[in-house]
Structure 1
């Protein structure tokens, strides 16, 4: 992979029915039904809605042999209506179910965390090397018969690791870490390779975008080390709904797509499955436009680790850089200085005109030729004004720079003026590559000036703007390069307040700055035991004012307690019409009637808040 220049990773080709992925095939988009897999008519109807929205694969939950057997009827129902889209069975816990599903679906997803290992108890287990080897042998004994069935039926498999369902065995040896997630996957991949079964797709997902991106990067590095090139399925689990779900998904999936990783994607939203497809398509189309861009001559700075990057070391300039959370700068060139208290920018860039009335707590940035030295205001310089910057007496300065204008003169100026914050600009087709080039050149030059990324758009649709901005910022946040973000959209189609809210939303999705309640909610599937969308709406209405709180809302126990590992509270389907409530990983109350569960959750939160 070229860190500065976009090109797709060359994965091996895998046939899933008549729709291959990997190789030179386009990046495929897919979704998953949320109807019971025993209901043939409902599954066929929903699959058709997914397909007509542009879905190229349809996944169905397959929790038992009844559901697995019914895949035959669903498959026949779809084919009889003229749809040839491949079906993928989603299997947890029971290898026998996977073996049945392989007879009737074009693909089967299995989860290494619960395919052979016992259900999670979150207990620390001790294994000798010999005992651990025996556990691997158990996996082989369970997996090989399944692989043989898949060979006979030309069925592809997806080895799908979820952060929320790592086994106690893996966590005991590797911890709840990217390394553990990668090893969980590699144990199964090595057996596939030994058995010469190559129709394999891989996914490693998490609701935490940082863990998700770092783990996929680490997996690709490990596969390359072992001579493997299997295609990748990308997704952020439990991303939620609405704008937050889209921003979070775009940030995680986009960060990997921008590095050429990914052969199929699913955007997991707690909404109707067909609503996921247009979002996924927009992400793929946006990133794919970078193909064939003008070459960027970047060089990685010494000490940078792509698979586990640390935040770039900077000297703080006021509240920018150092150990401070990344700032938000809002560009207000139209004179409108209205702000939202919850998403209030740290600085406002005013261009040529300072407002007469200024809000306390906000810094105002004005072009250097209009700076009057008044308190709470700061000058902004261009590359052409380096000499003026050098002689300016301002204690805090801002310098707009592109990668190509970071020349020897600019480097010398920044070295002499650590009180200068760099605002990076780019008009390149692959602006990520140029931004990375500038950041790494600063590091290689020993410069510790804080770095803010200026992202410019001209969108008329809010969703398009949010998806593109989150995609463009994702890798910059994960790589530890960002001390601030400035989003600007030319025109008046999107309000300044929405631009600010989006900037804060991106920083929260990247786990760098919290500005609101976070909801970790699954998209729902045939296992879901209650009305997810309605429940989330009720919980959001009652808790959206609780800044910094994380609430997990899960349809069932497959990923529930694990994916909610860093959530403060959890609401998990325990049975038909029954809910269990969690505090962190601890189950506080089991099998509450669904009609009482939301109130019980709110009572639990209120009780804890009262004792703080």
Structure 2
């Protein structure tokens, strides 16, 4: 990963219906229906609205065999109406439903936390190495037949790990950690690679954006070491709605996209799924437009690690840096309005070439050094 210059991470191409994920192909924007998948009419109608909003792929919850069967009806009706948007089935706890869904959908998402391992009981389990290997064989017994059905029907797979649904087995060995999320995923990836199955997309999601970004970066590091290069699906679970949900998604997804990671995204909002698509599209466009920018010669800080959350050591200047909390600076250099919202008061206001006459009393100003004047609460900005 280059933290100074935008470059997409190279991956294998994964075909999902008529679209291709990964490689040099555009980042795919997707969302998920909120209808009952057994309700064909409602699901088809919502899919039509989602397609009209600009989504490239639609995921539908498929918790049981009946839902998986009816997904075929939804798929058929959409195709009869002339829509070619790929559909993805979302599977939890039910390998039998996954086998059915793989015959009717272009993509199937399974969760390693509950695909084979028992439902979470939060019990602390002790495994010998032999017992742990036996659990891995159970995974292979269920997972390989699913891979074979997907091969037969040209169906792609997403290995989708959720921080909140790690199995008791993983929790007992790795704890509630990014490392546990990564290993939960890698167990399945290694089997897929051994079986020669490459139409795989991966996601590691959490509601905590710091944990989510750390887990994804750690996963990429593990995959690189094992020469595995599958595309990444990015998302933040339970992001919420309104401005808060959009900001939370932008922080988590945007940080990874800026690293060049991510080949498909879903912005998960507590709103109608059609509302998610424009937000995701705007986020993708904002980051990918940096492609081909003037190269930045960055300076690598020896102690920096993308997997660590330690704060970088700095010298304190006034109340900035050192042990002080981060400050908030409002940039008003391009506007005349100096009105301050009493609920969102910045620590400093950057005003560019000079302090205007309507500058609020009691606020600290930052001014370009060429226009700086020495006075209380007025600080120069030096450009190197």
| Distance change in 2, residues 1:138/1:311 (3 Å) | same
| Distance change in 2, residues 1:100/1:244 (3 Å) | same
Q: Secondary structure at the match of 1:291?
A: coil
Q: Secondary structure at the match of 1:327?
A: coil
1:14 and 1:73 map into 2 onto residues whose CA distance is 25
Q: Contact conserved, 1:354 with 1:366, CA < 8 A, in 2?
A: no
1:267-308 C-alpha deviation (Å, 9 max, x unpaired): 111111111111111122222212122222224222221232
Structure 1 residue 378 corresponds to structure 2 residue 360: no
TM superposition shift of 1:111: 0.3
1:378 and 1:54 map into 2 onto residues whose CA distance is 48
Q: Secondary structure at the match of 2:60?
A: strand
1:489-541 C-alpha deviation (Å, 9 max, x unpaired): xxxxxxxxxxxxxxxxxxxxxxxxxxxxxxxxxxxxxxxxxxxxxxxxxxxxx
Map of 2:382 onto structure 1: 400
TM superposition shift of 1:316: 2.5
Map of 1:159 onto structure 2: 159
Map of 1:517 onto structure 2: none
2:106 and 2:120 map into 1 onto residues whose CA distance is 29
Q: Secondary structure at the match of 1:104?
A: coil
- Give every structure 1 segment of 4 or more consecutive aligned residues whose post-TM-superposition deviation is greater than 6 Å: none
Map of 1:47 onto structure 2: 47
The equivalences for 1:184-583 within 5 A come to 184-332=184-332, 336-351=337-352, 352-353=354-355, 362-366=363-367, 369-374=371-376, 377-380=377-380, 399-401=381-383, 405=384
Map of 1:90 onto structure 2: 90
Q: Contact conserved, 1:335 with 1:350, CA < 8 A, in 2?
A: no
1:235 and 1:191 map into 2 onto residues whose CA distance is 24
Q: Secondary structure at the match of 2:270?
A: coil
Residue segments in structure 2 that go unaligned for 5+ positions in a row: none
1:131 and 1:355 map into 2 onto residues whose CA distance is 74
TM superposition shift of 1:81: 0.2
Map of 1:146 onto structure 2: 146
1:17 and 1:211 map into 2 onto residues whose CA distance is 32
CA RMSD of aligned residues (A): 1.9
1:37-93 C-alpha deviation (Å, 9 max, x unpaired): 000011111111111211111100011111011011001110000001111000011
| Distance change in 2, residues 1:314/1:305 (3 Å) | same
TM superposition shift of 1:348: 2.5
TM superposition shift of 1:327: 0.9
2:153 and 2:261 map into 1 onto residues whose CA distance is 29
1:217-259 C-alpha deviation (Å, 9 max, x unpaired): 1111111100110011111111111111111111211111112
1:74 and 1:123 map into 2 onto residues whose CA distance is 39
Residue segments in structure 1 that go unaligned for 5+ positions in a row: 381-398, 406-612
TM superposition shift of 1:365: 3.5
| Distance change in 2, residues 1:39/1:348 (3 Å) | same
Q: Contact conserved, 1:71 with 1:105, CA < 8 A, in 2?
A: yes
Q: Contact conserved, 1:354 with 1:364, CA < 8 A, in 2?
A: no
319-328 or 89-98, which deviates more = 319-328
Q: Secondary structure at the match of 2:102?
A: helix
1:531-553 C-alpha deviation (Å, 9 max, x unpaired): xxxxxxxxxxxxxxxxxxxxxxx
TM-score computed with the length of structure 2 as normaliser: 0.94
Q: Contact conserved, 1:30 with 1:277, CA < 8 A, in 2?
A: yes
TM superposition shift of 1:340: 2.5
TM superposition shift of 1:335: 6.2
Q: Secondary structure at the match of 1:133?
A: helix
Q: Contact conserved, 1:268 with 1:276, CA < 8 A, in 2?
A: yes
TM superposition shift of 1:155: 1.0
131-140 or 116-125, which deviates more = 116-125
1:372 and 1:400 map into 2 onto residues whose CA distance is 14
1:130-186 C-alpha deviation (Å, 9 max, x unpaired): 221111111111111111111111111100001111112111111111111000000
Q: Secondary structure at the match of 2:382?
A: strand
TM superposition shift of 1:326: 1.3
The equivalences for 1:74-153 within 5 A come to 74-153=74-153
2:67 and 2:94 map into 1 onto residues whose CA distance is 12
TM superposition shift of 1:322: 2.1
TM superposition shift of 1:215: 1.0
1:350 and 1:296 map into 2 onto residues whose CA distance is 26
1:285 and 1:358 map into 2 onto residues whose CA distance is 36
TM-score computed with the length of structure 1 as normaliser: 0.60
1:102-144 C-alpha deviation (Å, 9 max, x unpaired): 1111110000011111222223222222221111111111111
1:192-229 C-alpha deviation (Å, 9 max, x unpaired): 11111111110111111111111111111111100110
2:325 and 2:86 map into 1 onto residues whose CA distance is 45
Q: Secondary structure at the match of 1:50?
A: helix
2:303 and 2:61 map into 1 onto residues whose CA distance is 44
The equivalences for 1:577-592 within 5 A come to none
Q: Contact conserved, 1:236 with 1:249, CA < 8 A, in 2?
A: yes
| Distance change in 2, residues 1:297/1:336 (3 Å) | closer
| Distance change in 2, residues 1:298/1:350 (3 Å) | closer
2:49 and 2:360 map into 1 onto residues whose CA distance is 51
1:204 and 1:28 map into 2 onto residues whose CA distance is 17
